[in-house]
């Protein structure tokens, strides 16, 4: 009979990876791609420094972009 496999997670190691500058770079790259697909008036911004993981956001900054988002759900379509 096979032995039971025991895995001990390194939670601090996971946190270090998920909050690293590399993780923020990946998030920002994805947010910038979404903002460019969405069109003029949409911008990407880096999220706050979290203890758990990296964040990035795409915002509608202009009135026209906000209207476009409200009427056509542009950001969801830009995500794919």
Residue 51 carries which DSSP code? S
- The mean of the pLDDT values for the chain is 94
pTM assigned to the model: 0.82
Residue 77 has pLDDT above 80, yes or no: yes
Q: Are strands 42-46 and 56-60 parallel, antiparallel or unpaired?
A: antiparallel
In a domain? residue 39: yes
* Confidence at residue 50, expressed as pLDDT on a 0 to 100 scale: 84
The one-character DSSP state at 2 is: P
Looking at the domain assignment, is residue 57 inside a domain?
Answer: yes
Domain membership of residue 16 as a residue range: 12-79
48 lies in some domain: yes
DSSP state of 41: T
The total number of structural domains in the chain stands at: 1
Would you say residue 34 has pLDDT above 80?
yes
On whether residue 1 sits in a domain, the answer given is no
Q: How far apart are CA 25 and CA 3, in angstroms?
A: 41
Distance of alpha carbon 58 from its chain centroid, rounded? Answer: 9
Task: Give domain status of residue 44, yes or no.
Answer: yes
């Amino acid at each position: 009979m096979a032995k039971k496999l025991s895995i001990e997670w390194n939670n601090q190691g996971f946190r270090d990876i998920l909050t690293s500058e590399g993780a923020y770079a990946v998030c920002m790259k994805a947010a910038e791609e979404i903002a460019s697909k969405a069109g003029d008036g949409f911008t990407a911004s880096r999220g706050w420094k979290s203890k758990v993981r990296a964040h990035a956001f795409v915002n509608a900054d202009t009135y026209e972009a906000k209207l476009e988002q409200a009427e056509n759900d542009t950001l969801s379509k830009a995500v794919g």
